Structures are given as C-alpha cells and as structure tokens.
Amino acid sequence: MLDQLSGGRLELGFGRGTLPIELNYFGISDESAPSRYEEANEILLSAMKGGVLSYQGRHFQLNQVPLTLTPQQRPCPPIWVATNRPDTAIWAAGNGANLACMGPAAVVRKVTDAYHTHRERSASCSGREPYVGLLRMIVIGRSETDAYSLARSAYERWLRSFKFLYELNCVPTPKPLPLTFDAAIESELCVVGTPAFVRRVLLNQMDEAGTNYLLCQLAFGDLRLDASLYAARIIQSELLGRT
C-alpha cells in the first residue's frame, strides 16, 4: 500500500537489529531471532508477488491469505539490507538487494567482496545493478575548526542516546562502537572537515570498501539544522558526479 500511495517510491530496509534486549521486550529469545528474521524476509518477499499466500515455518504459519494489492514497482520495491556480516551479504546478493555497510573501509571490503562474488547469480527486484552503500556520518564546515566543533558536540549527544538501553540494562556496548568522537573519526564512522577534504576522504573510502553508493547521515545528535542543510547543499553542488 505504501508503494502505491507514494507512486512507486518506496524502498524497503531489512535488518535484524543488534541489541537482544529490544527483542526480549517482545518475548523473542536471542536464539530464535535469526531464524525468525529469515522467515519474515521470506514471507515479505513472497507477499509482494500477490495472489494467495501460504507459509509453514518454525515461527510463522499462514494459510491461504488473499493478497488483493501488489506494489506499484514490479516485481518488488528496491530492498536494502544493512549488515557487516559476509553471510548476510551473500543472502542480499542472492535476493537482488542493495547493501548498506558501516565501519572501516578495509573491514567493509570483506563484506562487499562476498556480496560481489555471489551477485551474478541473481537479478535485482528493480532490474538494475544494486547499490552497495557505505554509511558515514558527515559534517562539512566552512573551516576544519568549525566542522570539528559542530561534529564533536553532535556525536557526543548521539552517543548518549545510543547507549541508553545498554546502560539501562547493564549490557556492554558493541565493541565496534566508537566511545569518543576522536575514535569515531579514527574508525571512519565520521567524516568531518572542509568540502575538499570530505570529498577526497569519501571517494578514497568508497574505493577501498568496494562500494558504489554513499549513505549520508547528515543529521544526528544535537547537530544544528543549518549545519545539516549546509552539508547537504555542499554534497549536491560539490561532490555529486565529480569523481
């Protein structure tokens, strides 16, 4: 229905999540989460074909469900899978999904290599080559000092929000999570600086990571709206199409 209402602009994101506590709130055990996720994906992909849906799995059972509405985009809207795991990337490749990765470019490369290796075995839902995306938090300033000042405060505020459930439940934060702004820069999660610097760094990281698409997180923490809009304008005018 969303794809019909939006005129065929819907894009779907699949993700299992990273914090078991969130699943536990709904009575889902850590052990069953992976198989539930796989079954739910299978059901959703089948449902978008329309017709009558039946499914018998370990977690879900559907019997002759009539599906009277199909997506406007055929055979299905573009699908995005967020992962840093090669095995999930292989699933994404086999199902023609776009890929979204974060982390150091050298680490992401292992995931994208697995994706590209298996990609040729399946066509994408949209009929085009899928996007292999690299996610980065981006702050662009008129000077390096300005950019770092904005980004440091915003990242620290974002980090406090991200850690809320972990600290509430006395659960260690994920090891890859940079616990300081300087660590976020070093781990390549954040790219901060002047337009020329950011452009150079992003192009280098995308090349090293084996990606062809950039996922820009331009608003996070308490970053001011004008700072996010400035970065968006710079990316549009200075970065897009200039390789």
The answer to the question of residue 118 being in a domain is: no
Each residue's pLDDT tens digit, 39-80:
998 999 899 888 999 999 999 999 999 998 899 998 889 999
Mean pLDDT of 166-173: 91
Mean pLDDT of 167-182: 92
The answer to the question of residue 234 being in a domain is: yes
Q: Are residues 141 and 217 in the same domain?
A: yes
Q: Are residues 66 and 141 in the same domain?
A: no
| Domains of the chain: total | 2
Mean pLDDT of 184-212: 96
**Percent of the chain with pLDDT strictly greater than 90:** 65
Domain region containing 7 = 1-77
- Give 164 or 126, the one with higher predicted confidence: 164
Q: Are residues 60 and 141 in the same domain?
A: no
Q: What is the DSSP string of 25-89?
A: TTT--TTTHHHHHHHHHHHHHHHTT-EEEEEE-SS-EEEEEEE----SSSS---EEEE-S-HHHH
The answer to the question of residue 129 being in a domain is: no
Each residue's pLDDT tens digit, 22-44:
888 888 888 888 899 889 989 99
pLDDT band at 223 (very low <50, low <70, confident <90, very high): very high
Among the three residues 31, 48, 77, which one is the final residue of a domain in this structure? 77
Q: What are phi and psi of 116, to 5 degrees?
A: -65, -35
Among the three residues 59, 77, 95, which one is the final residue of a domain in this structure? 77
- Report the predicted TM-score, pTM, of the whole model to 2 decimal places: 0.85
Mean of the per-residue pLDDT values of the chain: 90
The answer to the question of residue 197 being in a domain is: yes
Residue 153 in this model has a pLDDT that exceeds 70:
yes
The answer to the question of residue 40 being in a domain is: yes
